[in-house]
Amino acid sequence: MHPDDKELLFQFHNAATKEKAFTAIIKKYQEKLYWHVRRLVVDHDDANDVLQNVFIKVWNGLENFREDSQLYTWLYRIATNEGLTFLEQQKKRSTVSLSDVEAGLSNKVRSDSNFDANKLEWKLQVAIQQLPEKQRVVFNLRYYDEMPYQEMSRILDTSEGALKASYHHAAKKIEEFIKNY
Amino acid sequence: MEHRQEILQELRDISPLIADSQQVNPFTVPQGYFDGLAGSILEKMRIDTLLSNASANTYGIPAGYFERLAGNILSKIQSGSNEIRTELEEVAPLLNTISKQEIYSVPAGYFAQTNFAKVARYGKVITLRVARKWTQYAAAAVMAGVLVTGAFIFTDNRTNLDNEQYQRMDVTSELNKVSDDELVKYVNNPEHAIAAPATTQLASEEELVDVKNNIQQVSDDELKQYLKENAEPFDSVITEKDN
């Protein structure tokens, strides 16, 4: 059973219990954040790299966390930004075009040792990687994390209406892709 | 008063000793106790009445509230999932048929063994896979460079080696080792005949007579000088033999 966020934050602000609280926060959220990032970057090593950056930022920034949002929302926001930053850096390092980067991620999915083109779950993953980055984030947060639009709006700093439209659009595109795959 | 006497008489009948002793109360009472007793009792009664009234006026809860609480929370959670399923059913029903189970694999023990807290405090752990990639590229570049350089040097040396070999060769001594019969055979072998270019015209007998006359007018010294200036490597053999 994980401790309450308020309790963890209180302990974090206390020098004597800071590290213990930080470890507890990681244990509580590491898997959720990992999968959120992994669905963005596909590759495990890349996800591990990004996740390390996320927790470094959490360690450095938690002292100044204003608690005007939920801790969970704040963590997801950092993880999303780090994931998108990583993809942006990959684009800059690569000489290929933007559309080729999305194709590159689809290829990464296909190159997974367990990939099975006949299985719907894998087709879904390939389809998701075809989406533009932010749309991919919206779809993943709603479809996999079952996040309310209100919560998503705080993470992505986008209106609920825009998020709903983005999600509906993404879902239709994915369905179309799977039918024709 | 009458009762007092009656009681005293009764006590005398039982125990004359006790009946005759003085009645002294050994217990003490706080000063003014009895003076304030009534007031304290009244005050206490007032507080008890207030408290009993207060508990009767706290927030009411519906009957069976706690019995139904767990069930209500569970259905709220389910309705959240249902909302997403319903939404997807309207937009892209196919996606509702797909399992949401994670399909990407994670290295065994990753979450248990990775110490993100240590990373956050002391710095990132860079995976060997990344470093190994660059090492491979560097190794490939070095190998390619070595092969190209080696090939270049090797072919260049061989050419130089051939030229040097021929330049060092003592033609005279080499030819002296060859017998006359072998030389005649070599010259007479049609395979060794050098085909004259098609444009070459053979000189006529009349032209040759003129050439012969011209040569007779040239002195031996002049001839030797000419041959020296226009000598080819093998000409030294002919010069020495003539001498």
Cβ distance of A38 and B104 shorter than 8 Å? yes
Looking at this predicted complex, what is its ipTM? 0.73
Q: For residue A67, is it left (φ>0), alpha (ψ between -120 and 50) or beta? A: left
Q: What is the pLDDT of residue A101?
A: 60
Collect all residues of chain B within an 8 Å Cβ-Cβ radius of residue A172.
Answer: 91-92
Token pair for residue B97?
């048929």
How buried is A71 (Cβ within 10 angstroms: 0-12 exposed, 13-18 middle, 19+ buried)? buried
Whether the Cβ atoms of residue A122 and residue A129 lie closer than 8 Å to each other: no
Q: What is the pLDDT of residue B154?
A: 77
Average pLDDT over residues A140-161: 93
Phi and psi, residue B25, nearest 5°: -85, 115
Average pLDDT over residues A37-46: 89
Whether the Cβ atoms of residue A54 and residue A82 lie closer than 8 Å to each other: yes
Cβ distance of B124 and A121 shorter than 8 Å? no
3-class DSSP string for B68-85: HHHHHHHHHHHHHHHHHH
Q: Which among B103, B116, B125 has the least Cβ separation from residue A125?
A: B103
Please choose, from the candidates A24, A30, A28, the residue with its C-alpha nearest in 3D space to the C-alpha of residue A11. A24
Average pLDDT over residues A154-170: 94
Does A30 contact chain B (CB < 8 Å)? yes
pLDDT tens-place string over residues B164-221: 666 666 777 777 777 888 888 877 777 665 554 444 455 555 655 666 666 677 778 8
pLDDT tens-place string over residues B128-162: 665 566 777 788 888 888 888 888 887 765 555 55
Q: Which among A19, A119, A174 has the least Cβ separation from residue B92?
A: A174
| Residue B75 in this model has a pLDDT that exceeds 80 | no
Structural domain for A28, as ranges: 1-93
pLDDT tens-place string over residues A86-118: 999 988 876 655 555 666 788 888 888 778 888
Select, from the ranges B108-112, B117-121, B190-194, the one with the highest average predicted confidence (pLDDT): B108-112
pLDDT tens-place string over residues B218-233: 778 877 777 776 655 4
Residues A61 and A106 in one domain: no
Residues A126 and A83 in one domain: no
| Residue A153 in this model has a pLDDT that exceeds 90 | yes
Residues A170 and A158 in one domain: yes
**Closest approach of chain B CAs to the CA of A52, in angstroms?**
6
Average pLDDT over residues B32-58: 67
Residues A161 and A122 in one domain: yes
Residues A71 and A83 in one domain: yes
Please choose, from the candidates A40, A39, A149, A31, the residue with its C-alpha nearest in 3D space to the C-alpha of residue A85. A40
**Range with the poorest average pLDDT among A77-91, A153-167, B20-34, B69-83:** B20-34
Does B97 contact chain A (CB < 8 Å)? yes
**pLDDT range class, residue B239, cuts 50, 70, 90:** very low
Token pair for residue B30?
């706080």
**Closest approach of chain A CAs to the CA of B93, in angstroms?**
8
Q: Which among B93, B106, B120 has the least Cβ separation from residue A56?
A: B120
CB-CB neighbours of B32 under 10 Å: 8
Residues A59 and A80 in one domain: yes
| Residue A157 in this model has a pLDDT that exceeds 80 | yes
CB-CB neighbours of B51 under 10 Å: 10
Among A76, A93, A110, identify where a domain stops: A93
Average pLDDT over residues B38-51: 69
Kindly give, in sequence order, each residue whose CB lies less than 8 Å from that of residue B15, ignoring residues fewer than 6 positions away: none
How many residues in total does chain B contain? 243
Whether the Cβ atoms of residue B125 and residue B119 lie closer than 8 Å to each other: yes
Cβ distance of B104 and A42 shorter than 8 Å? yes
Please choose, from the candidates A175, A154, A173, the residue with its C-alpha nearest in 3D space to the C-alpha of residue A163. A154
| Residue A18 in this model has a pLDDT that exceeds 80 | yes
Residues A79 and A24 in one domain: yes
Residues A77 and A151 in one domain: no
Q: What is the pLDDT of residue B237?
A: 43
Strand ranges, E, within chain B: none
What is d(CA A26, CA A15) in angstroms, rounded to the nearest whole number?
Answer: 18
**Closest approach of chain B CAs to the CA of A157, in angstroms?**
21
Among A72, A93, A114, identify where a domain stops: A93
What is d(CA A27, CA A41) in angstroms, rounded to the nearest whole number?
Answer: 22
Give the CATH number, domain containing residue A119.
Answer: 1.10.10.10
Residues A61 and A102 in one domain: no
Cβ distance of A113 and B105 shorter than 8 Å? yes
Q: What is the pLDDT of residue A76?
A: 95
Collect all residues of chain B within an 8 Å Cβ-Cβ radius of residue A42.
Answer: 104
Among A66, A93, A120, identify where a domain stops: A93
Token pair for residue A39?
């669905």
| Residue B243 in this model has a pLDDT that exceeds 50 | no
Does A44 contact chain B (CB < 8 Å)? yes
Average pLDDT over residues A29-33: 90
How high is the mean pLDDT of chain A? 88
**pLDDT over 70 for what percent of chain A?**
94
Residues A85 and A104 in one domain: no
Q: What is the pLDDT of residue A48?
A: 87
Q: What is the pLDDT of residue B52?
A: 67
Collect all residues of chain A within an 8 Å Cβ-Cβ radius of residue B110.
Answer: 44, 48
What is d(CA A89, CA B188) in angstroms, rounded to the nearest whole number?
Answer: 80
Nearest CA in chain B to A19: B117
How high is the mean pLDDT of chain B? 71
Residues A51 and A84 in one domain: yes
Number of domains in chain A: 2
Residues A100 and A172 in one domain: yes
Give the CATH number, domain containing residue A79.
Answer: 1.10.1740.10
